[in-house]
């Protein structure tokens, strides 16, 4: 059982995925976030996408991609479980909002200067590349 449970979204456009960096952070991470009490995983992802990227997503537009585990960055000894969904459709153009300072559209050839969260770097991006969903 993981200490932290998050929902993550894969938004694909032009064979690239969206990643974001929060204020005062170096690492880019998946759109999404922690699941609040009484919230479903899908509900958390939909809420986070609206709050942090100003886009609207409906549950029917989410397709389960996988559940991944890793050491939680910045939380010594804790583990994270991330349920990751492909966001098949969204309304609006993703924009950085609230604590999001920067967004990037990346493919599997991530520049050395861009640090990516471990689940996306080690699990999600390679699987997307292998499935021919990104370059």
The pLDDT tens digits for 23-67 are 999 999 999 999 999 999 999 999 999 999 999 999 999 999 999
86 vs 73 pLDDT, higher one: 86
Average pLDDT on 106-113 reads: 93
Q: Is residue 17 part of a domain?
A: yes
Structure tokens at 48: 């986070």
Q: Report yes or no on 9 lying in a domain.
A: yes
User: Residue 76 sits in which domain range?
Assistant: 4-130
Average of per-residue pLDDT across 82-96: 98
The owner of tokens 């969206």 is 18
- What is the pLDDT, as a whole number, of residue 83? 98
Tell me the pairing of strands 100-106 and 27-28.
Answer: unpaired
Beta strands in the chain (DSSP E): 4-13, 16-22, 27-28, 32-34, 62-71, 79-87, 100-106, 115-116
1 pLDDT above the threshold of 80: no
Tell me if residue 133 falls in helix, strand or coil: coil
129: left (phi over 0), alpha (psi -120 to 50) or beta: alpha
Band (84; pLDDT cuts 50, 70, 90):
very high
Total count of domains within the chain: 1
Residue 92 has pLDDT above 90, yes or no: yes
Task: Compute the C-alpha angle 41/129/11, nearest 5°.
Answer: 40
pLDDT of 74 > 90? The answer is: no
Question: Is residue 53 in a domain?
Answer: yes
Q: Could you tell me the CATH number of the domain that includes residue 28?
A: 3.90.79.10
**Higher pLDDT among residues 19 and 75, named by residue:** 19
What value does the mean pLDDT take over residues 90-103?
A: 96
Task: Indicate if the alpha-carbon torsion angle 111, 115, 117, 123 is positive or negative.
Answer: positive
Q: Is residue 135 included in any domain, yes or no? A: no
Greater confidence, 74 or 33?
Answer: 33
Q: Closest Cα to residue 8, out of 101, 118, 135?
A: 118
Distance CA 48, CA 18 (A): 14
Average pLDDT, the chain: 95
């Amino acid at each position: 059982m993981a200490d932290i449970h998050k929902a993550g979204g894969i938004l694909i456009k032009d064979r690239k995925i969206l990643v974001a960096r929060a204020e005062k952070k170096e690492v880019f991470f998946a759109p999404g976030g922690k699941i609040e009490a009484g919230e479903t995983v899908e509900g958390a992802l939909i809420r986070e996408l609206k709050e942090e990227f100003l886009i609207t997503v409906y549950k029917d537009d989410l397709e389960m991609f996988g559940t991944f585990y890793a050491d939680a960055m910045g939380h010594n000894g804790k583990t994270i479980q991330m349920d990751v969904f492909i966001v098949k459709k969204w309304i609006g153009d993703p924009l950085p909002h609230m604590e999001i300072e920067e967004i990037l559209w990346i493919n599997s050839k991530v520049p050395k200067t861009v640090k990516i969260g471990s689940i996306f770097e080690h699990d999600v991006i390679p699987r997307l590349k292998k499935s021919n969903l990104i370059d």
